[in-house]
Amino acid sequence: MDERTERRILDKARYVRDAVTVLAEKRDGLSFEEYRESREQRDVVEREFETAIEACIDIGELLLKATETGVPETNAAVFRALGREGVLSDELATRMAQAAGFRNVLSHQYGDEIDDRDVYNFLQHDLPLFRSYLQAVRAVLKR
């Protein structure tokens, strides 16, 4: 992998780490009722998730291009390809593919079309997913 690609991956990984920090603050500081009642809080959480997952997709595409593996057409397929390449475990590849679907919901729906309970549950339970993903990426960069 060339230096420029590695630098881009590291920049995107920092972005994900920073987004997870913001999300963890929201997770620890908001009850579901507070989350549901505040459009501003929902907007912050939804946008941080959307862009963090997008950065993870971008990292995956960069890794696949660096190994001269073709980049799949869908975001979820990027993570499945990383699983086939041994970058991600099967479980992590599946969970990240599901996160890509979650990102699509956040990107293409708004208002009452987004289930606040689903987003809040993702906030409460799935932040470790990003840390696991970044650990797998770091392991590839150290090779």
Residue 26 reports pLDDT greater than 80: yes
pLDDT tens profile 51-73: 999 999 999 999 999 988 889 99
pLDDT single digits (tens) 28-38: 999 999 999 99
In CATH terms, the fold of domain 3-142 is Four Helix Bundle (Hemerythrin (Met), subunit A) (1.20.120)
- Domain ranges in the chain are 3-142
Exposed (0-12), middle (13-18) or buried (19+): which is 15, by Cβ within 10 Å?
middle
pLDDT in tens, 69-125: 889 999 999 999 999 999 999 999 999 999 999 999 999 987 789 999 999 999 999
pLDDT for residue 23: 98
Which residues are CB-contacts of 56 (< 8 A; sequence separation ≥ 6)?
12, 16, 96, 99, 130, 133
pLDDT at 110: 77
Q: Which of 125, 122, 128 is nearest to 42 (CA)?
A: 122
pLDDT for 78 = 97
Contact 52, 20 (CB under 8 A): yes
Quick one: which of 105, 121, 64 has its CA closest to 88? 64
Q: What is the pTM of this model?
A: 0.95
